[in-house]
Every structure is written in structure tokens, then in C-alpha cells.
């Protein structure tokens, strides 16, 4: 059995299919190149870069260095174009499982008057300060090709927005659903193919009757329509946009951005091999959120909260081992200082509840479905935006995230040096220290403890 996971994000490391032939990617890059001629205020950028996994304990694949050719297409924030987009993609030379395509935004704007707009397509909105700052993927899906640096994506559907001097109101409805995306994987002859260090595969063998037993995995893929054709709706109301004091109330009902994973296993006595069947399913939840923030000179202080109520019904029939989800309350205060050149931010995140209990036969040691990447953390972030000379600029951000409850420390660095109008040098780095996973410490971060990463590259703006 060979399968390259498509469209949806699996809970235990999600994924999306990318074109595996160069012709499809050539058409994509050609579209990128010509788009700036069609949309006058769209920024098109080509780049080449190298990803290196620098941890001495790195053992995920045979390779620890990958070379990429990529492109990015993004509409300027000041653009008056009615079609807007933020799309990036890349081809890993000789490593198709590392290819990526991130459609963060692609929508059509239909202005009704100066204060009323309709939007159709995939559009990012700040439904929750908490979710956008931490990139948890609770309100909007996230792109987790690199789970240590998730990127926010927009919801897909119809948006109606009213902007008044004293408030902003948004209504959202959609008949379609696209969950969070993550690392690509492939199943061949019952085993997971190595080739993507970001994908953490289940164990190739387990102990049965005190003997190591080889496991063969099979993926029971639902029809695309069973995943995609799901309805959602929501609304948000905010007061004090661009004022000293801002308040926002939000509500959303629809499919969770993580798919529930059911599984069932058997032992083939003729070969003494275990067979495990995996199946993803959509489940629904409702979200209610509130955000408060206030500004004074260079300071901004705020508090965000979200109540997450998953549906309590069983998702699979009784033959499957499956997860049951508990309600969660997410709380995040923050303090930020910004003088236009430097920005310093301190965030706190606490998730109360949100546990996952699996029911069924032959349960795994820890649940395969995890709704949140971690349950508690503090983060310190420093940003610099410095113009050196006409046409030359440095943009950089470094953050340190620490969790006592989940036992990890994560350092992330992003730097971009624009050398001229067209050329720029790029660099990213993630360094992680994490404790072991157990029943009392379930998180997505610890599984990547050996994936310290350094990226360097160069880009050219068309």
C-alpha cells in the first residue's frame, strides 16, 4: 500500500498532498512569476535555501540537509486589488516528502460601500488574539510543515464585514472546511517511508507476548467530500479598533481544525505481524472568545480567553478505538512595548481541561489525537526592524518559549536582510530542549527534540 496523505491534517502529524512531478510545480512557479503582471500590487518572490538539521542526535531520516527552490506570492497590505492572496510553495530537490504548498489566503473582495465589504475565499482574520499570537490552530487552521514554527491560515467561506467608527462586526458562514496541514508522509507495504524528519511515525514494532512484533499500518482514507463538505458559521464584534482600549467578542461553530484519529488492530498468527488500521474523522466544536487590550504610549497590555467545547458524541462505531474530548478554557495575558524600531513582548498561556480520553480495545500508551501542541508556556519575543540605508533593511525576531508543565525550552530565530530592491538574505533557526513524553506530559513539541534546525537562503523579488 502506498499513500501520500491528502488535503487534511492528521492529528498525530498532519499532512497535505503536493504535486510530485516537476511539471505541476513548473506551472505553479509560472503562475507565481506572471501574477505580478496581472495584479499590480502583488509581491512575487523566488528563493533558494538549504535546511540543515544540526542536532547530534538527529536520526529521523537518512539525510540531514535539504535544498529547496521556492516561490512566494503576497498581495501588499496597501493594495486596492479585489483579488488578494498569500501563497508560498517549495520543491525539495530529490526529497518529494519535503515539498510544501501553503495557501494562507486567497480571496475576492467585493466592496458594497465605504464601510461594508463582502469577502469570498480563504481569509485570515483575528478571531482571537490568543490563537493568533500562539498559532495554536484553535480558531483558524495552521500550516505545520515545520511544527516548531506553525503559520496561521485563514478560514474559507463567505465573510460580511461592517466597519464603523465605534465598532467592527463580522459574520462568517461556509459549506466547506479545510483543516490544519502538517508534514507529508507516505505508507508503503505497510510501513511509513522515511523521508520527512518533521513527521513522527508510530513505532515499527511493539511487544506482544514478550516478543518484538512487527507492525503493518494501513490507512482507511475517507472520500474527500466526507472531509471537505462540512458547514461552519461564526461572528465577531469588536469595539475600539485602533483606539487606546479594545474589546472583542467572538463565536464560531464548525469542525475542529484537527481530525480525530480512530484505530483498530489485529495479530496475523500466520505471519506473527500486527496489523493496525487508521482512520481520520471530522468532529465539531463550538468556540467562544473574548479579548481585552489597552494602549498607553509605547505600551500595550491585554488578556485573551477562549472556551472550547467539543462535541461529546462518539465519532466512530464501536469496532474502533477512538478519542473522547473534554472542554477546555484557554487564557493568555500579554505585555508589549513597541517604539517602531524595537518590540519586546511577554506572553503567558494556560490551558485548563482539554484532556483526551480514548475508549475501545487495545489502546495506545498515549492518545493519538492531541488538540493542543502544549498546555502551558511562557514566551519572550524581541523584534527589530531597522533601515540601514536606502533599499537596505534588517527584519529579525528571536523568541524563547519555556514550559514547566510540558518540560521544554524552545528558541526560534527569524532574520531577513534586504540587501537591495530585489535581493535579500534569509535565515531561520530553531533549537529545542524537551523532556520525555508520558501520560502526564502529552505534547507535540517533545517528539521533535532532536530536530534542531538551521535554514539559510537567498531570495529575489520580481
CATH number at residue 451: 2.40.160
Q: What is the chain's Cα-based Rg?
A: 22
Sequence-ordered list of residues with C-beta below 8 angstroms from that of 200, at least 6 positions apart, any chain? 12, 13, 60, 447, 448
- In this predicted model, what pLDDT tens digit does every residue of 91-122 receive, in sequence order? 999 999 999 999 999 999 999 998 999 999 99
User: What pTM did the predictor assign?
Assistant: 0.88
Q: Select from 226, 246, 319 the least CA-distant residue to 277.
A: 319
Which helix (H) or strand (E) segment holds residue 27: the answer is helix 22-38
Domain count, the chain: 1
Contacts of 237 (CB under 8 A, 6+ apart): 167, 168, 169, 170, 248, 249, 250
- Tens digits of residue pLDDT in 312-344: 888 888 888 889 999 999 999 999 999 999 999
Alpha-carbon distance of 15 to 13, in angstroms, equals: 7
Q: What is the mean pLDDT of residues 119-129?
A: 96
Q: Look at residue 337 in the predicted model and tell me its pLDDT.
A: 97
Among residues 9, 276, 24, which one has the least CA distance to residue 142? 9
Within 10 A of 144 (CB to CB), how many other CB atoms are there?
23
**DSSP state for residue 194 in the 8-state scheme:** P
Q: What number is the average pLDDT over the span 187-215?
A: 70
pLDDT the model gives residue 24? 46
Average pLDDT, the chain: 86
Show the DSSP H helices in 125-265 as ranges.
129-134, 224-228
CA distances 299 to 315, 331, 338, 340, 343, Å, are 46, 20, 7, 12, 10
DSSP state of 225: H
- From residue 280, how far is each of 30, 73, 276 by CA, in Å? 35, 32, 13
Phi and psi angles of residue 461, each rounded to the nearest 5 degrees, phi first: -90, 125
Torsion of CA 358, 362, 365, 369, to 10 degrees: -40
Q: Could you give the CA distance from residue 414 to residue 430 in angstroms, rounded to a whole number?
A: 9
Instruction: Tell me the residue range of the domain where 291 lies.
Output: 3-461
Q: What is the DSSP string of 359-401?
A: ESSS--SS-S--SSS-SEEEEEEEEEEEEEETTEEEEEEEEEE
Look at residue 397 and tell me whether its pLDDT is greater than 60.
yes
Give the residue ranges of DSSP H helices in 55-184.
129-134
Please write the tens of the pLDDT for every residue from 428-445: 999 999 998 877 788 889
Amino acid at each position: 500500500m502506498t499513500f501520500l496523505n491528502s488535503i487534511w491534517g492528521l492529528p498525530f502529524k498532519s499532512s497535505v498532498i503536493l504535486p510530485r512531478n516537476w511539471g505541476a510545480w513548473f506551472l505553479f512557479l509560472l503562475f507565481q512569476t506572471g501574477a505580478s503582471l496581472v495584479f499590480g500590487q502583488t509581491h512575487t518572490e523566488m528563493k533558494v535555501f538549504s535546511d540543515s538539521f544540526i542536532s547530534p542526535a538527529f536520526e529521523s531520516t537518512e539525510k540531514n540537509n535539504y535544498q529547496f527552490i521556492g516561490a512566494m506570492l503576497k498581495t501588499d497590505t496597501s493594495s486596492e486589488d479585489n483579488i488578494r492572496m498569500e501563497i508560498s510553495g517549495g520543491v525539495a530537490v530529490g526529497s518529494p516528502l519535503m515539498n510544501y504548498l501553503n495557501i494562507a489566503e486567497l480571496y475576492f473582495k467585493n466592496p458594497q460601500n465605504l464601510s461594508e465589504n463582502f469577502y469570498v475565499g480563504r481569509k485570515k482574520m483575528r478571531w482571537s488574539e490568543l490563537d493568533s499570537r500562539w498559532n495554536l490552530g484553535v480558531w483558524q487552521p495552521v500550516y505545520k510543515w515545520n511544527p516548531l514554527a506553525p503559520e496561521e491560515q485563514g478560514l474559507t467561506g463567505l465573510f460580511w464585514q461592517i466597519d464603523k467608527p465605534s465598532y467592527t462586526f463580522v459574520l462568517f458562514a461556509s459549506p466547506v472546511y479545510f483543516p490544519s496541514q502538517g508534514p507529508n508522509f507516505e505508507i508503503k507495504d505497510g510501513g511509513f517511508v522515511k523521508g520527512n524528519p518533521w513527521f513522527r511515525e508510530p513505532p515499527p514494532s511493539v511487544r506482544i507476548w514478550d516478543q518484538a512484533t512487527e507492525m503493518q499500518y494501513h490507512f482507511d482514507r475517507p472520500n474527500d467530500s466526507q472531509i471537505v463538505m462540512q458547514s461552519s458559521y461564526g461572528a465577531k464584534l469588536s469595539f475600539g479598533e485602533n483606539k487606546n482600549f479594545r474589546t472583542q467578542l467572538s463565536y464560531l461553530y464548525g469542525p475542529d481544525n484537527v481530525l480525530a484519529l480512530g484505530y483498530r488492530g489485529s495479530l496475523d498468527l500466520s505471519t506473527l505481524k500486527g496489523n493496525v488500521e487508521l482512520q481520520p474523522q471530522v468532529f465539531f466544536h463550538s468556540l467562544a472568545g473574548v479579548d481585552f487590550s489597552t494602549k498607553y504610549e509605547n505600551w500595550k497590555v491585554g488578556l485573551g480567553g477562549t472556551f472550547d467545547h467539543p462535541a461529546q458524541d462518539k465519532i466512530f462505531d464501536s469496532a474502533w478505538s477512538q478519542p473522547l474530548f473534554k472542554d477546555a478554557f484557554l487564557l493568555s495575558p500579554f505585555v508589549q512595548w513597541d517604539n517602531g524600531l524595537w518590540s519586546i513582548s511577554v506572553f503567558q498561556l494556560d490551558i485548563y481541561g482539554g484532556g483526551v480520553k480514548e475508549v475501545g480495545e487495545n489502546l495506545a500508551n498515549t492518545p493519538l489525537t492531541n488538540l493542543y501542541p502544549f498546555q502551558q508556556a511562557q514566551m519572550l519575543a524581541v523584534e527589530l526592524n531597522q533601515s540601514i540605508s536606502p533599499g537596505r533593511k534588517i527584519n529579525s525576531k528571536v523568541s524563547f518559549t519555556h514550559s514547566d508543565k510540558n518540560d521544554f525550552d524552545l528558541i526560534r530565530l527569524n532574520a531577513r536582510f534586504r540587501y537591495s530592491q530585489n535581493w535579500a538574505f534569509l535565515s531561520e533557526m530553531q533549537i529545542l530542549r524537551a523532556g520525555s513524553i508520558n501520560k502526564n506530559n502529552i505534547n507535540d513539541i517533545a517528539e521533535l527534540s532532536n530536530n534542531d534546525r538551521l535554514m539559510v537562503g537567498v531570495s529575489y523579488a520580481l
